[in-house]
């Protein structure tokens, strides 16, 4: 059975109309599919049916170990969103991007297709001065209306700077990781395992944290 109903499919078609470049979704799952692995794979496949610019490549986490290592995939389900020419901007989704996070997946696809982060000129300038790699993990639940703001901002930073990788992590699917980072409210943002904060911050405050994490 299709995950997306006719109504949502129409909206998605409208959102994804006229993508300026090709996008590839790398989906990582395994033979005996985990909780939401099947749904994550189906979701990616259904999206590719709605736009001829979206291609899906399904990988087995163990079978495609080398590929998983290249993209830093250590848990499933996972989606890597690649741009034109398989360019890796550092956009990752761990756990199914359903609920409110579905819009984050659509935004990530649009961003990867255009290569434009959409950040303000000030934020772009600030990120150009980033010195070291920053790994952003944004913990979310699918019922949290504020979470996509944090996820999308993290993904924008990843598109803008080659030094940034940004993961959406659906907290209830990875309880051990959520426990380790003390996730008791969402969105919770962890940068390089040392800077962390809760809440969807405005762009400038978010970028300031990012610069601190990368200093």
Partner 1 sequence: MAELKFLVAPEIGKALKEDHPYDLVIVGAGPAGLTAAVYAARKKLDTLLISKDIGGQTLLTSDIENYMGYHYISGKELAAKFEEQVKKYPIDIAVGEEVVSLSKEGDDFLLTTAGGKRVVARSVIVATGKRSRPLNVPGERELVGRGVSYCAVCDAPLFAGKDVVVIGAGNSGATAVVDLIKIANRIYVVDIMPGWRADPVLVERIAAAGEKVETFFAHEVVRILGDERVEGIVIRPRGGGEEVELKVQGVFIEIGLIPNSDLAKGFLELNEAGEIVVDCRCRTSVPGVFAAGDVTDVPEKQVIIAAGEGAKAALSAYAYLIGQRR
Question: Least distance in Å: CB of 214 to partner 1?
Answer: 22
Report, in Å, the least distance between residue 151 CB and partner 1: 10
- Can residue 175 be called a binding residue for partner 1 (CB under 8 A)? yes
Q: Cβ(113)–Cβ(25) under 8 Å?
A: no
Give the pair of three-digit tokens for residue 81: 């969103």
Question: Whose structure tokens read 């996820």?
Answer: 151
CB of 149 to partner 1, least distance (A): 6
Report phi then psi at 27, rounded to 5.
-105, 125
What are the tokens at 58?
């399904």
Closer to partner 1 at the Cβ: 42 or 192?
Answer: 42
* Sheet with 195-198, edge to edge strand ranges: 54-60, 23-29, 78-83, 87-94, 164-170, 134-140, 188-191, 195-198
Measured from the CB atom, the residue of 96 and 157 that comes closer to partner 1 is 96
Rounded to a whole number of angstroms, the minimum distance from the CB of residue 83 to partner 1 is 18
104 class by beta-carbon count within 10 Å (0-12 exposed, 13-18 middle, 19+ buried): buried
Count of residues touching partner 1 (by CB under 8 A): 44
Q: Virtual CA dihedral for 63, 155, 161, 82, nearest 10 degrees?
A: 40
- Is 198 a binder of partner 1 (CB under 8 A)? yes
The pair of three-digit structure tokens given for residue 173, joined into one six-digit string: 């699917």
Give CA 26 to chain center in angstroms.
12
Using rule CB under 8 A, residue 138 touches partner 1: no
The 26-65 site mask, x for binding partner 1 (CB under 8 A), equals: ---------xx--x---x----------------------
The reply to whether 171 sits near partner 1 by the rule CB under 8 A is yes
Give the up-direction half-sphere exposure of residue 172: CA atoms within 13 A in the CB hemisphere: 9
From the CB of residue 85, how many other CB atoms can be counted at a distance below 10 Å? 8
Choice between 80 and 111, CB closer to partner 1: 111
Q: How long a stretch of residues is the chain? A: 215
Query: According to CB under 8 A, which one of 64, 172, 177, 211 is a site residue for partner 1?
Result: 172
Q: Which stretch binds partner 1 (CB under 8 A): 24-32, 73-81, 93-101, 207-215?
A: 93-101
The footprint of partner 1 (CB under 8 A) covers 3-4, 8, 11-12, 15, 35-36, 39, 43, 96, 98-100, 102-103, 106-107, 141-149, 152-153, 171-172, 175, 178, 182-186, 188, 198-199, 202-204
């Amino acid at each position: 059975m299709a995950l997306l109903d006719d109504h949502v499919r129409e909206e998605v078609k409208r959102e994804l109309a006229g993508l300026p470049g090709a996008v590839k979704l790398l989906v990582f799952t395994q033979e005996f599919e985990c909780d939401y692995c099947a749904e994550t794979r189906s979701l990616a496949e259904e999206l590719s049916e709605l736009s001829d610019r979206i291609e899906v490549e399904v990988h087995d986490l163990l079978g495609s170990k080398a590929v998983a290592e290249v993209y830093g995939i250590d848990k499933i389900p996972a989606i890597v969103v690649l741009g034109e020419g398989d360019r890796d901007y550092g956009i990752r989704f761990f756990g199914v991007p359903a609920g409110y996070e579905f819009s984050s997946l659509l935004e990530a696809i649009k961003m990867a297709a255009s290569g434009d982060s959409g950040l303000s000129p000030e934020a772009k300038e600030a990120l150009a001065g980033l010195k070291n790699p920053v790994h952003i993990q944004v913990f979310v639940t699918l019922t949290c209306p504020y979470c996509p703001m944090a996820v999308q901002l993290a993904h924008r930073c990843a598109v803008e700077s080659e030094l940034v990788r940004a993961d959406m992590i659906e907290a209830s699917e990875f309880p051990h990781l959520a426990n380790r980072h003390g996730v008791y409210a969402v969105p919770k943002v962890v940068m390089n395992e040392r800077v962390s904060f809760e809440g969807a911050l405005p762009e400038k405050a978010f970028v300031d944290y990012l610069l601190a994490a990368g200093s």
